[in-house]
Amino acid sequence: MTEIETIAETGSTNSDLIERVQSGENIAEGFWLHAERQLGGRGRLGRKWESPAGNLYCSTIANWRDGDPPAHSLSFVTALAVADTLKRSLFPSTPIMLKWPNDALVDGAKIAGILLERTGDAVIVGVGINVCHAPELAGRRTTSILYENSKHGGNPGLVLSLLAEAFEARLARWRDAGLAATLDDWMALAHPIGTQLVISKGDDSELSGEFAGANEDGALVLRLANGAMRTIHAGDVAMIA
């Protein structure tokens, strides 16, 4: 059952939910915390997530259970839910692509991002979707739902209702059909096999090669220039045009 709590402003919806869980509050799956504006929004690797009013900033909880696929693979569940949401918010011909591990792109421009954080068995799933605005990101193109589909009306609440519905369905599939089915769905929307990628590691080093898919755990498989295969579990991915 979906429950949405909307607040006018906060630092970060992810941080708020983490604090509430750690304080002992029992938050059921299906609960979403929605902020009309964030003052301290963040993305992966500690990046600041620009949060002007009019975009969607929200977080939910997935309570990891014995027998569930690995908790980190909820990033694929969330990415697919975002893609489902975008398909219902944009024109049918709009090209939507998922970039490993957590970005949604429209015609190569970033439109959404995902941040997963874990406390105990609770996985906090944060989602930001550009509904009305496309904040500037250094070196990257961005877009918004309203820019791509002016008929949408720019309603973050509507987008959230679609996202909550899609996430519930994708979470159930992840549990019932297993991770392999979710990865198959994700691969159908991912950058094609053979796409040239550059992986930036946390130590400022880079690795380049061709996208060769994802392994059974969801790690990125990169084919290097010498033909060797490298498994990537973490890093920032850029596609080379």
- pTM (two decimals): 0.93
In 3D, which of 82, 76, 98, 72 has the Cα closest to residue 239? Answer: 98
Q: Is 152 left (phi over 0), alpha (psi -120 to 50) or beta?
A: alpha
**CB neighbours of 73 closer than 8 A, spacing ≥ 6?**
174, 179, 182, 183, 217, 218
Instruction: Report in angstroms the alpha-carbon separations of 100 from 39, 85, 93.
Output: 27, 18, 22
In whole angstroms, give the CA distance from residue 10 to residue 18. 13
**SS3 of 114, please?**
strand
Q: What pLDDT, on a 0 to 100 scale, did the predictor assign at position 52?
A: 81
Distances (CA, A) of 15 to 157, 194, 213: 21, 37, 32
Tell me how many helices (H) and strands (E) the chain has. Answer: 5, 12
Helix (H) or strand (E) holding 86: helix 74-89
Residue with tokens 């938050």: 27
Taking every pair of Cα atoms in the chain, the longest distance, rounded to a whole number of angstroms, is 53
Phi first, then psi: give them for residue 76, nearest 5 degrees.
-75, -40
pLDDT of residue 101: 83
pLDDT for residue 42: 52
Eight-state DSSP code of residue 193: T
- What does each of the 241 residues of the chain score in pLDDT, given as a tens digit? 899 999 999 999 999 999 999 999 999 999 999 999 988 655 544 455 557 889 999 999 999 999 999 999 999 999 999 999 999 999 999 999 999 988 999 999 999 999 999 999 999 999 999 999 999 887 789 999 999 999 999 999 999 999 999 999 999 999 999 999 999 999 999 999 999 999 987 667 889 999 999 999 999 999 999 999 999 998 888 888 6
Report the SS3 class of residue 220.
Answer: strand
Q: Residue 76 to residues 72, 92, 148: CA-CA distances in angstroms? A: 8, 22, 24
